[in-house]
A = this chain, B = another copy of it.
Amino acid sequence: MNTYLECIPCFFRQALFAARAATRDERQMKQVLDKVSALVPGIPLDSPPPETARWIYSVVREVTGVADPFRAHKEESIQKALSLYGMCKSAVDHSEDPLRTAVRMAIAGNAIDLGANPDLDLEGEMRNILRGDLPENPYQAFKRSLEGTRTLLYLGDNAGETVFDRILIEVMGKDTVYAVRDVPIINDVTVEDALKSGLGGVARIVSSGCDAPGTILRRCSEEFLSLFASADLIVSKGQGNFESLSGEDAPIFFLLRVKCPVIAGHLGAQNGDMILKNGRERQISSSV
């Protein structure tokens, strides 16, 4: 997916949000915004938004000297999600169709997103998941793909929703590699966060090699590219991964919450919609 002009004001919003998390020095925050301004004429509109977001967060790091401004927030998100793990796991296990419930839960958990959705009531979100349902066609396609799958590559997104990814991975019961960001960026999951979320017991955790808040293949490691090429099924979580992989010809299913009007417009969906999208079909399906 290309970068839309509407992403540009949002880059400034994100830059300021991250700068505020990193420092209390208003001059440093202004310096971040000045440096982001200097990037604008060169923003590659034919690249996905995570390409530019990568630059922006590097500006925040450079100006403030803080490498991981959302570290405490990520820790808190993971702890909160872990506190819901037992209840959620039990709800999945006792549901009529555990896979369907776990997919919905994993999508609902994607509401945790500091880039696009800084204010969130996680418990409220998780309680709401039973309201909507998944559209039948993409869910059946996902189920069929899963049946023929031996090796599954799961692309994580935000720290915290990782706990709900873990439940889905447990339910799917496949030989799974869980890919994470190479370095801390926004509240995206790193190896450390994945381990804290208990994913080490259910999947092999690898870095994608990418330092953007998405999965930009030309920035990924050889190891990851090889996993990407050989996986029977790829489960891609969140907007950043969708933005960077939506054009790829690969056996991907995208699981995400729509959290910005640009993605909503691109998908023909509404803000807040839960999306399960077969990457190989043009068809888009959403439920609230």
Contacts and interface: CB of A to CB of B under 8 A. Distances in A.
Contacts of A45: 30
Interface string A24-57: 0010011001100110110001000000000000
A5 interface: yes
Contacts of A13: 9
Most chain B CB inside 10 Å of its own CB: which residue of A8, A10, A30, A34:
A8
A45 B10 CA distance: 20
Interface string A9-24: 1101100100000000
A249 interface: no
A6 interface: yes
Contacts of A41: 34, 37
A10 B9 CA distance: 7
A36 to B, nearest CB: 8
A20 to B, nearest CB: 8
A12 B8 contact: yes
A9 to B, nearest CB: 4
Interface of A: 5-6, 8-10, 12-13, 16, 26, 29-30, 33-34, 37-38, 40-41, 45
15 contacts: A5-B16, A5-B26, A5-B30, A5-B33, A8-B12, A9-B9, A9-B10, A9-B13, A9-B16, A12-B12, A30-B45, A33-B40, A34-B41, A37-B37, A37-B40
